[in-house]
Structure 1
Amino acid sequence: MQRPEAWPRPHPGEGAAAAPTGGPAPPARAGEPAGLREPSLYTIKAVFILDNDGHRLLAKYYDDTFPSMKEQMAFEKNVFNKTSRTDSEIAFFGGMTIVYKSSIDLFLYVVGSSYENELMLMSVLTCLFESLNHVLRKNVEKRWLLENMDGAFLVVDEIVDGGVILESDPQQVIQKVNFRADDSGLTEHSVAQVLQSAKEQIKWSLLK
């Protein structure tokens, strides 16, 4: 699927320190029942991954439902408390539909509006997990995610852009991620070296 460059879209916030920008999906037309909305390309409100203590490891928000970092973190904590001890894969919280999956010591979440198709949200979640499973060499756990965070962000960016679903086929996502790495002139080995170097720099800065 080609990236829809012509579509107007908000610029996503990213990572643990970024706040979202952009606008929400269009409101209901005047006179429509509250439960009916116009179809929108902006399906996804947020994608985030938490550890088994509910701490954020990766997060991207695509509208202004939670405009501040404090609101985002509170939302994530509430979602984690609601979902971490259940066997279900779908939750309804705060007027939103949330699909989620656990893997060893990680919890993966995809958030959409209450009127979004659950199967569509689940297809994004499945694509996210399968793509990460490949990037992390079948080790979808906290340690390997932290060591391959750049690759994880690339995966998320290839699946969702500004709240628009770009791809739900993990094979296509993996090909695009590999292409972007090759296009930048970085081999898999050199990427690993760069990430290791960055980790060492962070470690030494914390020790000072």
Structure 2
Amino acid sequence: MIPPLLPKIDAILVLDHEGNRLAGKYYGEFLSKPSGDQTVEALRLQFEQALQQKIAGISARPDAAEVVTVQGRTAVFTGGNGPDVKVVHVGSPSESELVLAYLCEGMHSALAQLMGGSTDRSMVLDNLELVFLLIDEHCDGGLILEVDGRKLASAVLLRDEDASASDDMGHMSHQPGLPPGVAPGDMTLTQAFRQARDQFFVGMTSRDGM
């Protein structure tokens, strides 16, 4: 049983300005079973299209989420200025709009920090791995784990660093300073940060004669 005050999320979505899903997860029984001739993915796309019709042309400040009702569900979203993506949290009609807005704003804050202050479509697509890690750190099975943007961003970067360290163990031959299999012009923002950090420590070690 879920405590009555513990918020439960049906879906978290990151959509571009046309309503296309760039990343997201559905939880529990919400749109998780085929209906008639429609597959689960078709049902979800239908829901996202209905959502887009409601939020198209509406921009919401990162600290002031907007609220709409779609197919009997409450959806709150932030973002949507120009090429910026929208972060959407979907909950049941019984969930507090203020609580859902608070959760959505927290994730948007973390996303902006991970993307270096930019949440445009191209930046998100270049760093989808971080976006999915963010969703997992924010929510597990529909239950919210963390809301603070700084804590979320830190947790995501730590997990990404651990995963990269494991990958590096299996790729001993690659260009110094670059992640395995990545050309200099193909690095994501986080990979660039990691390269700069590694080069800094190498320089410090050489200077100290260690």
TM-score greater than 0.5 by the shorter chain: yes
Q: Which residue in the other structure is 2:15 paired with?
A: 50
CA distance in 1, matches of 2:20, 2:76: 18
Given residue 88 of structure 2, which amino acid in structure 1 is its aligned partner? Y
- Kept in 1, the 8 Å contact 2:47–2:71? The answer is no
- Cα-Cα RMSD: 2.9
Given residue 9 of structure 2, which amino acid in structure 1 is its aligned partner? I
The TM-score normalised by the length of structure 2 is: 0.69
1:138-187 deviation digits (Å, cap 9, x = unpaired): 11010000000000111111111110000010111112112212322179
Q: Which residue in the other structure is 1:190 paired with?
A: 179
Structure 1 unaligned runs (5+)? 1-24, 27-37, 199-208
- Kept in 2, the 8 Å contact 1:41–1:163? The answer is no
- Kept in 1, the 8 Å contact 2:74–2:93? The answer is yes
CA distance in 2, matches of 1:87, 1:141: 13
Larger Rg: 2
1:95 paired residue among 68, 72, 75: 72
The TM-score normalised by the length of structure 1 is: 0.69
Task: Find out whether 1:80 has 2:48 as its counterpart.
Answer: no
Instruction: Work out the number of aligned pairs and report it.
Output: 163
CA distance in 2, matches of 1:196, 1:60: 27
Q: CA deviation at 1:127?
A: 1.3
CA distance in 2, matches of 1:77, 1:41: 29
Q: Which residue in the other structure is 1:12 paired with?
A: none
Q: Which residue in the other structure is 1:8 paired with?
A: none
Given residue 64 of structure 1, which amino acid in structure 2 is its aligned partner? E
Q: CA deviation at 1:120?
A: 1.5
Given residue 179 of structure 2, which amino acid in structure 1 is its aligned partner? S
1:92-120 deviation digits (Å, cap 9, x = unpaired): 22221110122332222110000101122
Cα distance, 1:69–1:58 mapped onto 2, change above 3 Å: same
1:170 paired residue among 145, 149, 152: 149
1:57-68 counterparts in 2 under 5 A? 57-67=22-32, 68=40
Task: Find out whether 1:70 has 2:42 as its counterpart.
Answer: yes
Structure 2 unaligned runs (5+)? 33-39, 61-65, 169-176, 189-210
1:1-58 deviation digits (Å, cap 9, x = unpaired): xxxxxxxxxxxxxxxxxxxxxxxx88xxxxxxxxxxx727461000111111221111
More helix by share: 2
- Kept in 2, the 8 Å contact 1:48–1:110? The answer is yes
CA distance in 1, matches of 2:131, 2:158: 15
Q: CA deviation at 1:191?
A: 8.3
